[in-house]
Structure 1
């Protein structure tokens, strides 16, 4: 429960932080900030993600005691990568007199990626060991530091690069403050075993990284194209909708993935490969049961959210871009948290690279075809088409052939029907005044969907809740 609580807190504070930064910086500087942040995320994915993925797949409480060279390899690889990235940041900063603002944003992105990578590493270690309390503490410290440092820096400097540096620093300091809790006892081991671990990590993680880099570069390229075609202010409008929607779905999916994928790994480790795959299939139904109604609810409340919470300078643009980007954001979340685990549990991750290539190609063709007649809106639509194409390709690979995954089709159909019923119930209240529409949609949608889930035990959620409550109630 501590992990779920951490993600709820993280989602709410990230949403509030994004809106505050957007309000203080304004559309043009927020566009620069969003572009630089996308670069930092891409760098983090390219350089650190394969190690984080290896930590969640190969590190555990058992491994901590029995195979200490795995953690030693992770620590060394992180340290070397961080030092190299720090050197790149200094070189980019030194080139500022010649390259100007792009060099400054590049330096800030590289520095921010170091903090992001270290924070994600700490989170992955807590996840792998099922230490929910430690994870909650890490998230709370990070969010407190981010709120103070990033908002304060934005207020004082109004500079996108400085705010990015403050964000990276907040994550770096959060990981540093809890480093002792993550420490493993020192155990002697052979260096050769660290090399074996490195080869294992690279073979497993690099294909996933290649796909994720593509998925990070697609929004980065699209934001750059919008900025080039229509200016940084338009890129700011695009980015705010993409960032808020992306954070909502990535946070929801990751909250489940933190628990579900580790359960699948444990099932494969203790009961064999078939048990692991069966658990991944059940996990996929649970992910869909959360992501799909959340998407419908976000669509319903977007106009009210814009009127109440979105800074005035972005109004009118937020809902427009949200509706265009929403299908792609949902597809990306389903790929990351429902389909990717199929190939991760099998340790055959090359299909993820092919899916990324399909998505990038469709995004490029769509942007070239749609940007002319529709401008930045066409670029947003092309991004959604790219993510949808990648998801469909990966689903085809997972659900066909001799090794196809056996999905719980009854649960998947029930999720679609329950979400449709919830959406129909929201239509009459969506058009109310914003201050009435927002709570009415949240309450009514949650009530209708929860009632259907409970009545029909969709994705086994009712059984999971009653089992959890049964353990929480002491016997008399």
Structure 2
């Protein structure tokens, strides 16, 4: 539970921080910042994601004690790639010294440093999760958010340039790991060179296909933001970026928090009971993810007008709601791929279908970029992104759920969640026309209460049973006294 609480805290503070940075920088500079951030995520994915995924798959408390070469291999690979990225950042900064912080060199340097910061923090957070050390993970997230909010907000206030804010972001990530380096360390153990090479081969075979897919998904918003900036200016790119970021966080926050726990449960099931039990756990996980993410998408749609009026900076209103409405279906498909379908292939260690689906999605998105803006203007780019993600989702779902080795899902549970969300959406639809404060004040508790009641009455995805079991474990019934 500490892991989930930490991620919810992280997502909430990131949401607020994103709005603060957007307001302080303004649409044009926020568009540049968002484009650079998307580039940093792509760069981090290409360089480091295979190692982070390998940490969550192959590192554990047992491995920490008995197979130290796994951690040695991870550490050394991260260090080598990190030094290369740091050198590239310094080189870009050198080219941008004379031109100033608005130059392309400065922005590229900030992008590289941000990618390095993301990689360093995500790796150590993955180690804490793989060890099921919820307290350490919570500490990492709490310290990182405190440092990041302070540094980035202060930088955006005093030095309102995207390059400076990116550097502040990178410093906050690395400083957090330095502050908590003690509990993150493993016990000293001799380094086995032969084991290191075997470990790196294992990581590459497992992780490289996954990062190819992730890079494709991360490249999609990067290309889309760059296309909007080229066709309609950086201010329009800022509108698109804020809508995409807020929508993605609204739909994926809970999913990522669940994935931190659910995938490790599947790995543990395989470690103790074999692949068949791991796949059954993954199938149960899919139903849980659908039952908890689908109401997030419906709820976000219901409160979107109120959210725009009350929370979004004034300069972004109007385009924000338009873009968000168009992006909701595609970003929901992305969340389902990340948290429901990808784990199927990760457990099987057959990740090529993930790449094939991602390449298809990127191709559909690219075709949309060539055709749709001519008819729909900048909103056509949002439609292209949604079409690309939907195509990738359909392709991956067909691969996972058909054929002799298909995953056998609890379809009744998934259908029940869909019906419950439909009921909730119909109940909340009239609230969209109310004044913003009233709509938000009524919509959030009403939607949560209605959906929770349906989940409890029909035990959708077994969520009621999970709560009852946890309650019984914490509050066992007193034993009846026997009479002589």
TM class, shorter-chain normalised?
over 0.9
Query: Once the 2 structures are TM-superposed, how far is the Cα of residue 463 of structure 1 from its aligned partner?
Result: 0.7
Unmatched runs of 5 consecutive residues or more in structure 1: none
Give the counterpart of 1:302 among 296, 304, 311: 304
**1:249-292: per-residue Cα shift (whole Å, max 9, x none)?**
23211100011000001111111111001100110111111111
Alpha-carbon separation, structure 1, partners of 2:398 and 2:259:
22
Q: 3-state DSSP class of the match of 2:408?
A: coil
Q: State the alpha-carbon separation in 2 of the partners of residues 78 and 419 from structure 1.
A: 43
Aligned-partner Cα distance in 2 for 1:282–1:138: 29
* 1:212 corresponding residue in structure 2: 214
> Does 1:379 pair with 2:384?
no
Residue equivalent to 2:178? 176
CA separation in 1, counterparts of 2:350 and 2:95? 41
C-alpha separation in 2, matches of 1:90 and 1:169: 15
Q: How does 1:38-437 map to 2 (within 5 A)?
A: 38-96=38-96, 101-437=103-439
CA distance in 1, matches of 2:445, 2:407: 36
The equivalent residue for 1:469 is 471
**How big is the shift at 1:134?**
0.6
Instruction: Indicate the SS of the match to 1:404.
Output: coil
Separation in structure 2 between the aligned mates of residue 405 and residue 67 of structure 1, nearest angstrom: 32
- Aligned equivalents of 2:295 and 2:146: distance in 1? 30
Displacement, 1:475?
A: 5.0
Aligned to 1:458, which of 457, 460, 482? 460
Q: Secondary structure at the residue paired with 1:286?
A: helix
Write out per-residue CA displacement over residues 340-395 of structure 1, whole angstroms, 9 at most, x where no aligned residue.
00000000011111111100110011121101011110001100100110011000
TM-score, scaled to structure 2: 0.97
Describe the SS at the equivalent of 1:174: helix
Report the CA distance between 1:106 and its aligned residue. Answer: 1.2
Normalization by structure 1: what TM-score? Answer: 0.98
**Relative to structure 2, which stretch is displaced further, 65-74 or 462-471?**
462-471
Of the structure 1 ranges 401-410 and 248-257, higher mean CA displacement relative to structure 2 is found in: 248-257
> 1:8: which partner in 2?
8
1:3 Cα shift?
Answer: 1.0
Secondary structure of 1:310's counterpart equals: coil
In structure 1, distance between residues paired with 2:103 and 2:373: 26
Distance 2:12 2:323 in 1: 21
In the alignment, the residues of structure 2 paired with residue 302 and residue 472 of structure 1 have an alpha-carbon distance, to the nearest angstrom, of: 38
CA shift, 1:430, in A, is 2.1
Shift of residue 103 of structure 1? 2.1
CA distance in 2, matches of 1:179, 1:458: 42
2:372 partner SS: helix
Aligned partner of 1:27 in structure 2 is: 27
**TM superposition shift of 1:176:** 1.4
Contact preservation (8 Å) 2:72, 2:191: no
- Deviation string 1:182-239 (CA, Å, 9 cap, x unpaired) is 1100122421011111100000000000000010111000000000000000000000
Q: Deviations over 1:423-468 (max 9, x none)?
A: 0110122221100101211111101110111111111111111111
Hey, what's the Cα distance between the residues in 1 that align with 2:477 and 2:413? 32
**Distance in 2 separating the partners of 1:331 and 1:200:** 30
CA distance in 1 between counterparts of 2:285 and 2:439 reads 32
Measure, in 2, the Cα distance between the counterparts of 1:104 and 1:279: 47
Q: Matches of 2:186 and 2:440 in 1, distance apart?
A: 47
Aligned partners of 2:386, 2:177: CA distance in 1, in Å?
Answer: 34
2: CA distance, partners of 1:92 / 1:271: 50
Offset, 1:34: 0.3
Q: Which residue of 1 aligns with 2:36?
A: 36
Matches within 5 A, 1:432-447: 432-447=434-449
The CA RMSD over aligned residues, in Å, is: 1.2
Q: Secondary structure at the match of 2:434?
A: coil
| Cα offset, 1:98, TM superposition | 7.9
Show structure 2 runs of 5+ residues with no match. Answer: 479-484
Query: What CA distance in whole angstroms lies between the structure 1 residues aligned with 2:418 and 2:374?
Result: 35
d(CA) in 1 for partners of 2:314, 2:190: 59
Distance 2:287 2:181 in 1: 36
